[in-house]
Structure 1
Amino acid sequence: MKKIGLIYFMITCYFSAFAQYPVVVYDNKVYQPNIKTIECYNSKKEQSLPLIALKSGETITLAFDDLKGGNKNYSYTIEHCTYDWKPSKINQLDYLESFKEDIIFNYRFSFNTLQKFTHYQLNLPNDQIKPKLAGNYLLKVYEGNNPQKIVITQRFYITNNAVNVGSEVVPSSQVEFRNSKQKINFTIFHPMPITNPFMDLKAIVMQNNDPQTAILNTKPTFVKQGSLVYNDINLNEFWAGNEYRKFDTRSFRYKGEHVQDFYRDTAINVILIADQPYGTARYSNQFDENGNFFIRNQDGRDNVTDSDYADVLFTLNANPPSSIGNAYVVGRFNNYILNEESKLNYEPTRKRFYQNIKLKQGLYDYKYVWVDENGKYNNTIFESSFFETENTYQIFIYYKRPGGRWDELVGFNSVNSLKK
């Protein structure tokens, strides 16, 4: 009996040790509350889509802040994924021509800020990590050389540009949505033979880099010699939405755009002007960054290390659209993730939604969305939707060769609704 009890105790301890580690999800996610301001983009342009061409010399930049400060031993690796962001289940030797992991050596400490932090940054590919296949990749950052102590997962893309993509943005095919939706038609021009496009090709269309809006295309409308046409009247229609709301916290010496007030106690607090749902208001043309954010600082010399953090209060004066559901504030600053941090609290007596989010100094785009009891995502109920809205659409083309074991990203195109 003592032996059985000892075995049971050892098994319990074994599983308890693993239970303390978070489960890795194949999405953009932060696993520790002290990790803030994750940026991932093509190094040529700040806040661009994290996509590069295979063996082109281009790099992906990943940067983040650790609010616990100090110097931690953060490591990273990458994993090849399927078109729908699941593990490709191929050996690392198949998609890496280098080492399988490396340590982040590039870090800097904050300077003259109320919130102390350490800023980490890396570029991929590099001398240690070199992918050799096109496709979707998940970048994993973990602590102490222990892959189970995951800190960040971030998606990025590598294309081999084996096919070309032509695209256009047109009004909805349905008369009732002509003034509120935008439709994407596109054509794939492929120099290599594609035996079965209905099985081997997948195309994904996304609006403003927001994964919540992604639409999967599996069947071309027309198959022609050297080209595949996707223009089905019932596919790739998006709510055009509205221009993003925005605010400016580049300085804590004066009130920037959409800032009602700010004050200091143990931390810096920023109160944004209360937002109203647009309802039946007419479309108003205003410049935005299609959901992006930019770390900027007018109070110091360095945007990265001199920019401080503030608890930013978002307020939306609106009633819940239905009795069950949740409102969220989203943008590229939180990767459009619907979690407890982005979820708004509701105050019935004042008929308002509100939430405090810790954000670094800078320029931010954001919008409000509603998710009902069935999990249906609605990004127009507070923002309205107008065909005139300027949006950027991303089109990803994936190809799995006959007998192949992985999905390649063989083509990509980005089209703007206003630029012909």
Structure 2
Amino acid sequence: MRRNILIFFFLLYGVINAADIEIKSLKVYSTGDETSFPLIDAKAEPKQTVTIEFDVNSNSPPNFNIVFRFCDKNWKPYEDAFFLNQRYNTEYYLNFQRLPLHIEGARYHYTGAFPNKNVTFPFSGKWKFYIVDSYDPTIVFAEGSFYVVYPEIKPITVLHKERFQGNEPDIPALARTISINTEFRIPDSLYPSEILGVEIIENRKIDYPVIIDPTHTDYERFYEWNGNNKFKFIARNIRPGNEYRQTDLRDYNIYNAKEVYAQYDGIETSDFFHKRKKDLNGGSILTNYKSDYAEYLYVTFRIRPPEDIQAPVYLTGAFNNWRILPEYEMFDDNGLLYLTLELKRGIYDYQYVIAYDITQPDWYILEGNFWETVNEYHIFIYYKSPEYGSYHKIIGYNKIISVNYE
């Protein structure tokens, strides 16, 4: 039976509890900006890092290591010894800071920046980390993901403002789309046949990429090749959506109880026709762990959707890495939908999604779709390298803001 209150541990990809230890508010981001996309450009100056931070609720400081693994383009870690990066793949015996004594919900905090003298990232591509027990690394408490790029090419990416290509939707607002065109040339040292395709990530939706695969093309996702070293990858019918909803729990005078509502001034409704203000592009800003107000609240999200919305409604946002999960399906109380999460004080981007099938969510029918929406798009170019028995590596990367229409 589902509980009315979901105790959320803020894991990017899951949790295994052991000995009553709880990891909360796990975040990974780039070079000191907690709202940034988790990526290292290895050739950038000054040198970039990724920061991993989280709280722990336990009776005593836990004994954790963080293990880093290189992955293929589908986030599957490589098992070959060449990619294990032994001797430089583990941060041992993490140093924890004590939260203020009166804070409930967590006792300790960890922050670490990587790479460092213990950990390196020698391969260009996708990386995962695992927070494990120091004495038994098979016990995994949490995990997360980030990108490391050693760029060999510099793609040129252009966004075009368009109408929906194909049978236009019945609702005109849903016909507002953009296309993303990425062009690049590969050097003579690379083989055109080994280009694996292009992946586009909107804001923080790492689990819902737009993929242009040269072996599976259609009128929405396709590519052009000049027969030599020049490529162009095109993705159409990308809806820009709306700016995200936000809850700001930092004001102790407003949110001064243990149980609060995400929106202090009322119940939310559909924002399909309402253009919202600029957001954090899917990010969050958490109250500093040293603060006396770095506490955890039970936050109830409430929305009354239009009566013609019959599909299940899910809550997603910066607090669950923008994943559509069964445990985030909202409860129905005579048309008022609600869900309660345990959240640390801070600002969180979030939204409501409908889905009969969580693998095919509708991000727009409750939230709206506007060309004016400001989104970040991260574009990655994948290549099958013959080195070390072959592996998937990122050879090019670009970031573009969606208001820069051609």
Deviation of the 1:276 alpha carbon: 0.3
The CA distance in 1 between the partners of 2:262 and 2:232, in whole Å, is: 49
Matched position secondary structure for 1:213: coil
The CA distance in 2 between the partners of 1:370 and 1:354, in whole Å, is: 14
Match of 2:223 among 208, 221, 224: 221
Deviation of the 1:87 alpha carbon: 2.5
Q: Does 1:209 align with 2:209?
A: no
Deviation of the 1:163 alpha carbon: 1.2
- Contact 1:270 1:310 (C-alpha < 8 Å) held by counterparts: no
The equivalences for 1:318-333 within 5 A come to: 318=305, 323=310, 325-333=311-319
Match of 2:375 among 366, 382, 391: 391
Matched position secondary structure for 2:391: coil
Matched position secondary structure for 2:111: strand
Deviation of the 1:263 alpha carbon: 5.0
The 1:210/1:74 distance shift into structure 2, 3 A limit, reads same
Deviation of the 1:222 alpha carbon: 2.0
Equivalent residue number for residue 6 of structure 1: none
Please, what is the CA RMSD of the aligned residues? Answer: 2.7
One-letter amino acid of the structure 1 residue matched with residue 247 of structure 2: F
The CA distance in 1 between the partners of 2:382 and 2:308, in whole Å, is: 38
- Contact 1:50 1:156 (C-alpha < 8 Å) held by counterparts: yes
Equivalent residue number for residue 19 of structure 1: none
One-letter amino acid of the structure 1 residue matched with residue 181 of structure 2: N
One-letter amino acid of the structure 2 residue matched with residue 40 of structure 1: V
The CA distance in 2 between the partners of 1:174 and 1:343, in whole Å, is: 30
Equivalent residue number for residue 107 of structure 1: 96
- Contact 2:224 2:231 (C-alpha < 8 Å) held by counterparts: yes
Deviation of the 1:69 alpha carbon: 4.9
The 1:284/1:342 distance shift into structure 2, 3 A limit, reads same
One-letter amino acid of the structure 2 residue matched with residue 227 of structure 1: K
Equivalent residue number for residue 238 of structure 1: 238
Matched position secondary structure for 2:183: strand
Equivalent residue number for residue 267 of structure 2: 274
- Contact 2:164 2:177 (C-alpha < 8 Å) held by counterparts: no
Equivalent residue number for residue 259 of structure 1: none
Q: Number of matched residues?
A: 372
Q: Does 1:159 align with 2:149?
A: yes
Equivalent residue number for residue 23 of structure 1: none
Equivalent residue number for residue 251 of structure 2: 251
Match of 1:289 among 280, 292, 307: 280
The equivalences for 1:29-108 within 5 A come to: 29-32=14-17, 34-54=22-42, 57-91=47-81, 93-96=82-85, 98-108=87-97
Instruction: Identify unmatched segments of 5+ residues in structure 1.
Output: 1-25, 256-261
Equivalent residue number for residue 337 of structure 2: 353
Question: Quick check: 35-44 or 397-406, which moved more?
Answer: 397-406
Deviation of the 1:241 alpha carbon: 1.0
TM-score (norm 2): 0.83
Equivalent residue number for residue 161 of structure 2: 171
Instruction: Identify unmatched segments of 5+ residues in structure 2.
Output: 1-10, 215-221
The 1:171/1:31 distance shift into structure 2, 3 A limit, reads farther
One-letter amino acid of the structure 2 residue matched with residue 163 of structure 1: I
The 1:149/1:50 distance shift into structure 2, 3 A limit, reads same
One-letter amino acid of the structure 2 residue matched with residue 98 of structure 1: R
Q: Deviations over 1:96-118 (max 9, x none)?
A: 26344232422111114244421
Q: Deviations over 1:145-202 (max 9, x none)?
A: 32221111111111111111111221235364785222211112323444334x4322
One-letter amino acid of the structure 1 residue matched with residue 34 of structure 2: E
Match of 2:390 among 392, 399, 405: 405
The equivalences for 1:303-318 within 5 A come to: 303=291, 306-318=293-305
One-letter amino acid of the structure 2 residue matched with residue 222 of structure 1: E
The CA distance in 2 between the partners of 1:153 and 1:207, in whole Å, is: 21
Deviation of the 1:250 alpha carbon: 1.0
Bigger Rg over Cα:
1
The 1:384/1:270 distance shift into structure 2, 3 A limit, reads closer
One-letter amino acid of the structure 1 residue matched with residue 178 of structure 2: Q
Q: Deviations over 1:359-396 (max 9, x none)?
A: 11111111111121474211112112122211111111
TM-score (norm 1): 0.80
- Contact 1:296 1:307 (C-alpha < 8 Å) held by counterparts: yes
The 1:271/1:406 distance shift into structure 2, 3 A limit, reads closer
- Contact 2:312 2:330 (C-alpha < 8 Å) held by counterparts: yes
Deviation of the 1:268 alpha carbon: 4.6
The 1:150/1:114 distance shift into structure 2, 3 A limit, reads closer
The CA distance in 2 between the partners of 1:135 and 1:38, in whole Å, is: 22
Equivalent residue number for residue 200 of structure 1: 195
- Contact 1:396 1:411 (C-alpha < 8 Å) held by counterparts: yes
Q: Deviations over 1:67-126 (max 9, x none)?
A: 2353000111111111111222321x4452634423242211111424442111222212
The CA distance in 2 between the partners of 1:88 and 1:341, in whole Å, is: 30
Deviation of the 1:319 alpha carbon: 5.2
- Contact 1:54 1:132 (C-alpha < 8 Å) held by counterparts: no
Q: Does 1:181 align with 2:171?
A: no
Matched position secondary structure for 1:221: strand
The CA distance in 1 between the partners of 2:267 and 2:147, in whole Å, is: 37
Equivalent residue number for residue 136 of structure 1: 126
Equivalent residue number for residue 418 of structure 1: 403
The CA distance in 1 between the partners of 2:239 and 2:64, in whole Å, is: 40
The CA distance in 1 between the partners of 2:300 and 2:251, in whole Å, is: 16
The CA distance in 2 between the partners of 1:173 and 1:201, in whole Å, is: 28
